[in-house]
Each structure stands twice: as C-alpha cells, then as structure tokens.
Amino acid sequence: MTSAYPITERQRVELKEQLRLMAFDMAQLVDDKQLQTIQMGLGKRERLTALLDGELDFHGENGAYASHDLHAFAAKFPPQLPRAFIRGLTQPGDIVLDPMMGSGTTVVEAIIAERYGIGLDIDPLALRLSSAKTKPLNADHLREAGFGIIDSAKTLLANKSVIEKELARRFDEPTRKFIDYWFAPNTQRELLALVIALENVTDAYIRRFFELTFSSIIVTKSGGVSRARDLAHSRPHLDPTKNPKNALDQFALRLRKNLISIARLKTNGTSAFPLVGDARCMPLPDSSIDLIVTSPPYANAIDYMRAHKFSLVWLGESTVNLSELRSRYIGSERVGQHKNTAFPPKPEAIIRRLSERDKSKAAILAKYLAEMGMVLCEMHRVLRNDAAAIVIVGTSVMRDIDVETHNCLAEIAATLGFDVVGVAKRTLDRNKRMMPARFGRRSDSMIEQRMHDEYVIGLLKP
C-alpha cells in the first residue's frame, strides 16, 4: 500500500527516546487533574473513563488562543475538548489524528502539546484553514507582505478596465451568476483586486495565510462583505438592504487580528500534516496512530459547502465542482445508488421506524450510518492496540424521531471490535459557537431543535 504517512516508525521511536533522555516535564503538559490520573498509574481504559466522567462543557473558557480564531467555522468544538484527551491519553511525540479535521482544532492542539498532528478532509476551505492554522510564520514578514497586498489592490482598482476585463474572463457562467447574485458590483471589484494581489505572493504558506484572511471577511456569522444575512445558517438568506463594507478596509482589519493570532502559535518543534483524504479510506498504515479525536458531521444537519463556496469561488473553485464535491460529503442528502448495509439492532430499529414515516429520510440516515461505519472501521485499522478514539457527535431529529446518532455509532463501533468505554453528554456553549440555533426562541427548524447538546463517545482498541 502506498502511504502519505509522513513519519516513519524509526523516527517516532527516536523522538520519544530523545524526549525521555531530556527528562521531559509532564507537569508542563497536563492540568492537575490529568496529571494526577497519570501519576496514579492507571491504564488507558481507566484514564479514558475518568476523562469522560469529568468536565466536558468548558463554558466560559477562552477558546481564542494560539491560532484557533483565524477563521470562523460552523459548529467547531472548543479547543479545550480535544486538549483534555490529547494530554490525558498521549505523551509528547505521539501521533494524534483527526480524520474529519474541519477547522483543524484537534491538529492545532496536538502540536501545541508537542504531539504530531495529522488531519484529513476533502473540504477545500477546511484544508486551507488547517494548513494556515498549523504553520508558524514570522508576523513581521506577514505584516509587510499583507499591507503590500492592500497597496497593490488599491493600484489595481484605480485601473477599472483591467478589473472589469478580469471579472468577465475569470469565472464560468454558473459561478458568474452566483457571484452576481451574492456580491454587489463594487464589492466584486474590491475582492478581485485583493485576489489578484495575493496571487502574486510566491511563498505558498504565506499565500495560504492571506487566502484565509481574505476568506474570513466573507465567511462570517454576519455574512461579511457578501449580501448574505447570515452564513451560519445552512441556507444563506439574501439581504437586499445590506450595504457591505469596503472589502479592502475589512481585509486590513482582519489582517491585524490574524497577525496576532498566528504570532501566538507555538509548536516547540513538532509538525502538523493537514492532508487531502477521505475518512472512509484513510491514506495511513495499519496500527500507526496513538489517538483519534474527531467530530463527524451531523446526520442531515449542517451543509458546510453552502457557506464555504462564498469564498472558495474567489479562490479558483467553480460552483459546479463544489456542488459535485458536496455530494460526496458524509451526511449529504444525496443518496444515489447506495447499497444496503446490515446494521446492529439499535440503528436497524431506528431506520425501520423512520421508514414508516418517511422512506427518503430513512435512506439518508441509512447512508450516513453506513458511511460512518466505514469511518469507524478505518479508525480501528489505523489505531495502535490500546489506543483510544474520541468521537464527538450530536444527534438528529428526523420526522420527530430522535435518531440517537451517538448510540447508533457506539453500537456500530462495538461490532467492529472497539471497546465502548462510555458515552458522555455535553451541553453546547451556544454563545461561542457559529451554529444555526438560538436559545429561548421557538423555531420550526429541525436543526435548531436538535443542536443544543452533543455526545462524547469514548472508544478503545483492545
């Protein structure tokens, strides 16, 4: 099997030995409770049980440290959540994987804690974001290059004929229609001027940082410089009364904020590897991972691509290609020719009950659980023996039926050979998460009715 795995077993062993010889101080890496658990000499199962029984809500804690706040991302979990399991279940030099990395929270926490972080995703914005968030860069060089981009964009805007010609040339017809619908003419010129300027940045890592700064003025909870009212909702709404702010001014404001964020990222020599990869077929060797912490998509819930394409179309992606990619996401509602899968009793009973009310929704749920079964099978394959997998997932309500996603996945995992150590419930801190729901207001939206709690499934590979 050809592998994209970046670290050999020999390198891993040598690194761990170097850390041992350096008498690395574990007290610098774990909080008091986790340190006490480790010092008690408990096994992996006991440590995992203790973590699942502990505080997992993290309400009121600051999640905007290191590079975590470079860009908005729907439904990302607080960094304290993966941090607790990374520091409680692994050692420096270990390898932590998030096979559905999204905004890269787990991978960032891994490298902060001096572990190697590997992340997989097929979403183009997730890959760009995770790449930028995990690469330390010189803030002074970035500042100089960033304001050079703004100056170049201003020069380009002074020559209207060049911008108009490029607007007419650059996009295919479906993408052009999308841009005309969601972006005001002046905003289109400003955004394209920024894009042309940042395309001239030769260093790929620095250019990726500026792409994320550019994207973050578009994909925001308020809709940013687009004419969308709120990109946090799964279906953006056009606001014809909205008067978008100047894109260059917003880029300058966001640049200053992101320079502070990236300057806070300290990796202490470890590296992150955000890779293009599908969690259903991971490009990793057997028994190579020390811990998995991941948050799969909800069944029939957030449609990430509906928001992400607002910036991706400016970064060279076409709406046609993005729609095709979206259909391959786990949790998408496009069922197609999906083969029947045998499920354990719990998911089988829920699918059957849902089918009595809505066969289409039942097919969507069956597809989701089948694909998550493939993911869990791959997770079991790549984990080392006595290594844990932490799966953070919310349930879904379909036709007034709670499909109990967490219980279904736990039962599927057990049939694949995992030891299900426990399932803990945590309450979402809705004031700090970019999510389409509100407390205290009744809504007919199924998404809003179900996204207040989520579950942490603790699995162990024997």
Q: Which of 70-74, 247-251, 261-265 has the highest mean pLDDT?
A: 247-251
- Among residues 210, 243, 263, the one where a domain terminates is 263
Q: Which residues contact 371 (CB under 8 A, 6 or more apart)?
A: 280, 330, 331
Q: Is 207 among the domain residues?
A: yes
Distances (CA, A) of 126 to 107, 132, 300: 12, 10, 20
Residue range 418-453, pLDDT digits in tens? 999 999 999 986 555 445 443 334 444 444 444 578
Round to whole Å and give the CA distance between 251 and 189. Answer: 14
Overall average pLDDT of the 260-279 stretch = 91
Mean of all residue pLDDT scores within the chain: 85
Q: Is 240 among the domain residues?
A: yes
At 232 the pLDDT is 64
Please report which confidence band the pLDDT of residue 412 belongs to, taking 50, 70 and 90 as the band edges. Answer: very high
Q: Are residues 150 and 13 in the same domain?
A: no
At 338 the pLDDT is 57
Q: Is 44 among the domain residues?
A: yes
The DSSP letter of residue 281 is B
Please report which confidence band the pLDDT of residue 41 belongs to, taking 50, 70 and 90 as the band edges. Answer: low
Q: What is the domain count for the chain?
A: 2
Q: Is 316 among the domain residues?
A: no
At 438 the pLDDT is 39
Per the structure, the complete domain to which residue 437 belongs is given by 9-123+273-295+338-461
Please report which confidence band the pLDDT of residue 3 belongs to, taking 50, 70 and 90 as the band edges. Answer: very low
The two tokens of residue 264 are: 């806070």
Distances (CA, A) of 396 to 60, 209, 361: 26, 35, 11
Q: Are residues 81 and 117 in the same domain?
A: yes
- Residue 119 sits in a domain whose CATH number is 3.40.50.150
Q: Are residues 343 and 383 in the same domain?
A: yes
At 25 the pLDDT is 34
Q: Is 313 among the domain residues?
A: no
Q: Are residues 251 and 277 in the same domain?
A: no
% residues pLDDT > 70 (the chain):
83
Residue 339: how many other CB atoms lie within 10 Å: 6
The answer, yes or no, to whether residue 24 has pLDDT greater than 70, is: no
At 234 the pLDDT is 58
Please report which confidence band the pLDDT of residue 64 belongs to, taking 50, 70 and 90 as the band edges. Answer: confident
At 42 the pLDDT is 76
Residue range 218-254, pLDDT digits in tens? 998 777 899 998 776 657 889 989 999 999 999 999 9
Q: Which residues contact 95 (CB under 8 A, 6 or more apart)?
A: 7, 12, 115, 116, 118, 288, 289, 290, 291
Round to whole Å and give the CA distance between 461 and 372. Answer: 17
Which amino acid would we find at residue 117? G
Of 155, 109, 107, the closest CA to residue 131 belongs to: 107
Q: Are residues 158 and 70 in the same domain?
A: no
